[in-house]
Structures are given as C-alpha cells and as structure tokens.
Amino acid sequence: MELKNPVMTASGTFGYGLEFADFVNLEDIGGIIVKGTTLEPRQGNPYPRMAETPKGMLNCVGLQNKGVDYFCEHIYPTIRDIKTNMIVNVSGSSPADYAECAARIDALDRIPAIELNISCPNVRQGGMAFGVTAEGAASVVKAVRKAYHKTLIVKLSPNVTDVCEIARAVEAEGADSVSLINTLMGMAIDAEKRKRVLSIGTGGLSGPCVKPVALRMVYQVARAVKIPVVGLGGIMSATDAVEFLLAGASAVEIGTANFIDPAITVKVAQGINDYLDCHGFASVHDIIGTVE
C-alpha cells in the first residue's frame, strides 16, 4: 500500500471520513482508518462514554458499529470512491471472528488494508484480551493472515509490560505493519457524586497527555521489528508528527486532535512538508528513525 502522504486518521475518531467532508478535502489525507468494525453488530457501552482530562480525554465507546455486513452493503458504497486509502479497523471476540470479518473485507476491491484492533480496552471480551500477550496476539494474526491477503496492520496496546515482544510475535505471523498506540486504560472519578464517571468505570486515555508514552513505545518497537511502524498517540501538530517519524514511524495517525480542529490532518501533512523543506530533506524517508 502506498500513501500519498504519511498522515492518516485514527480509528474511532474520524467516523467514515464523510463526517469531516465539510472541513477537509478527504483526498488530501494519506489514509482514512474508519470506525472499528466487528462481525456482528454491537450497541457499545451505555452513556456516559467520555470524560475530559487534563490535555486529553477518556472514552469507553465499546466498539459500537452495525457489523461487517452492514458495512459492506451500506457504507462501503458511499466511501469506495474517495481517492485515498480507505482502511477498515477490525475487532472481534475470537480469532475465528476476526478472520471471518477480515475475509469479508478482503472481497472489497477499494479497501487496500485493514488495521486489526487487538488493543481495545473498552470491551470485556476480545479487544485488548488478545493484545496483552504475545500468544494471544499471534493467534489472532495467524488466523487473519490465512483469510486476508492485502496489507495487514496490527494495532498494539500500550497496556503491556513489553510491547516489543508482542510486536515481534505479530511480525512473525505475517503482519505487514504495526500501529501504536491504542488508548491507555484509565479512570475518572466525580468527587462530588463519589462515583466513577464512565458507564463501565474505566476508559481509554487519548490526546496530547499520552504522547510521551506513545513516542517511547514507537521508538522501542521501530528498533525491535523490520516491518514499518505507524505511530500515533496525542499528535496535535506537525512538530508532534515529525517527532514520531524521527522516533522510527513510517507514517502517523491523528485521533483525538480531529475533535479540536476538524482540519488538523491536512495542516499536519502540510506542516511535515514545510519541516522537510526547511531542513533540506528531499522526502520523509530521509528522517524516519533518524533521532539520535
């Protein structure tokens, strides 16, 4: 899969892209990773699903989506002609589930890649359960690799002791790329009400407050695997994105920042070019992983 620029949107923060069509030219974005999709429809968790935090937010949406068949029949036709890489984020509750969902998306000719979400902290089954052990992660990737023949990106969880071990395990099973980080598991408490704020008690932390953790993990993983790494977590500006590229990411994703500035993606893409020009680099390849 080729990207016209290294900026993609993070799953769950950009809908199917169309929600942002009034604010950005979608075709100026390197790739759009759409909402988490599962084999069966899911209602997600009850409201409230979010809480603001210093420099970030918690969410426990819980993979609400109408299921892969609905996606193929009703959503795919509306996004297939957007001229950029439309990538589907896939989740499941068993390796067989993931594989079946991936197989149905394999049949869609305008979807060049999927991103396997083995790192969602907001659903009891599946999601993060697979992403926190090397064996679990490997079992999902192994099953999906048999069923899916295009570019396979595996999204890693930061809620682990050794992210490199998991990255190596998914690389060994044939992942084409890894992306990280998904959200960090957190909690918000309302002192007045003496209650936890989110409906399921915990949620995933995102936004600029997670950036240092994400940068460190991207740096480590980029040195542990040979496949390309996609970096994300708290990117709010072109400088943030450049930091991820320097740490070893070949591309970046922008998530929560879309809520603050719906046109942030194209601004970051332009800002990366300005950085390259300003520092005399011919292409983004010249800076990937070059941090001292």
Partner 1 sequence: MSVERLHERYVLLRATNPAGPLPEMRPGQFAQLRADLAPNTFLRRPISINFVDVTANEVWFLIQTVGEGSRSFARLQTGDMLNAVLPLGNGFTLPATSAERVLLVGGGVGTAPLLYMGSQMLAMGCRPTFLLGARSKGDLLQMEAFQRLGDVFVTTEDGTAGERGFVTQHSVLRERQFDRISTCGPKPMMVAVARFAKSAGIACEVSLENMMACGVGACLCCVEDTQEGHVCVCKEGPVFNMEDLKWQI
Point out the residues that are catalytic: 120
Residue choice 259, 267, 281, 287 for contact with partner 1 (CB under 8 A): 259
Going by C-alpha positions, the residue among 203, 209, 230 that lies closest to residue 218 is 230
For residues 6 and 266, give the distance between their C-alpha atoms in angstroms, rounded to a whole number: 11
Q: Which is nearer to ligand FMN, 93 or 117 (CB)?
A: 117
Contact between 51 and 58 (Cβ < 8 Å) = yes
Tokens describing residue 151: 């570019």
Part in contact with partner 1 (CB under 8 A); list of ranges 14-22, 84-92, 108-116, 139-147: 14-22
Part in contact with ligand FMN (CB under 6 A); list of ranges 72-80, 131-139, 204-212, 263-271: 204-212
Residues 6+ apart with CB under 8 A from 5: 28, 29, 30, 269, 272, 273
CB-closest chain residue to ligand FMN:
12
Residue choice 52, 69, 274, 286 for contact with partner 1 (CB under 8 A): 52
User: For residue 241, which amino acid is it?
Assistant: A
Is 139 a binding residue for ligand FMN by CB under 6 A? The answer is no
CB 209 to partner 1: min, Å: 9
Residues 6+ apart with CB under 8 A from 87: 8, 31, 32, 33, 34, 111, 112, 113, 114, 115, 153
Is 93 a binding residue for ligand FMN by CB under 6 A? The answer is no
For residues 205 and 120, give the distance between their C-alpha atoms in angstroms, rounded to a whole number: 11
Residue choice 8, 29, 51, 63 for contact with ligand FMN (CB under 6 A): 63
- 151 φ/ψ angles, rounded to the nearest 5 degrees: -65, 125
Is 77 a binding residue for partner 1 by CB under 8 A? The answer is no
Is 15 a binding residue for partner 1 by CB under 8 A? The answer is yes
**Strand pairing class (50-53; 56-59):** antiparallel
Q: Is 36 helix (H, G, I), strand (E, B) or coil?
A: strand
Is 19 a binding residue for partner 1 by CB under 8 A? The answer is yes
For residues 155 and 71, give the distance between their C-alpha atoms in angstroms, rounded to a whole number: 20
CB 289 to partner 1: min, Å: 30
Q: Which of residues 208-237 bind ligand FMN (CB under 6 A)?
A: 210, 232-235
| Alpha-carbon torsion (228, 234, 235, 241), positive or negative | negative
Q: Which is nearer to ligand FMN, 26 or 214 (CB)?
A: 214
Q: Could you say which of ligand FMN, partner 1, none residue 288 binds, taking C-beta under 5 to 8 angstroms by partner kind?
A: none
Catalog residues that contact partner 1 under the rule CB under 8 A. Answer: 12-15, 19-20, 23, 35, 43-44, 46-50, 52-57, 59, 61, 64, 207, 256, 258-260, 262
Using CB under 6 A, list all residues that contact ligand FMN: 10-13, 35-36, 59, 61, 63, 89, 117, 120, 155, 182-183, 206-207, 210, 232-235, 254-257
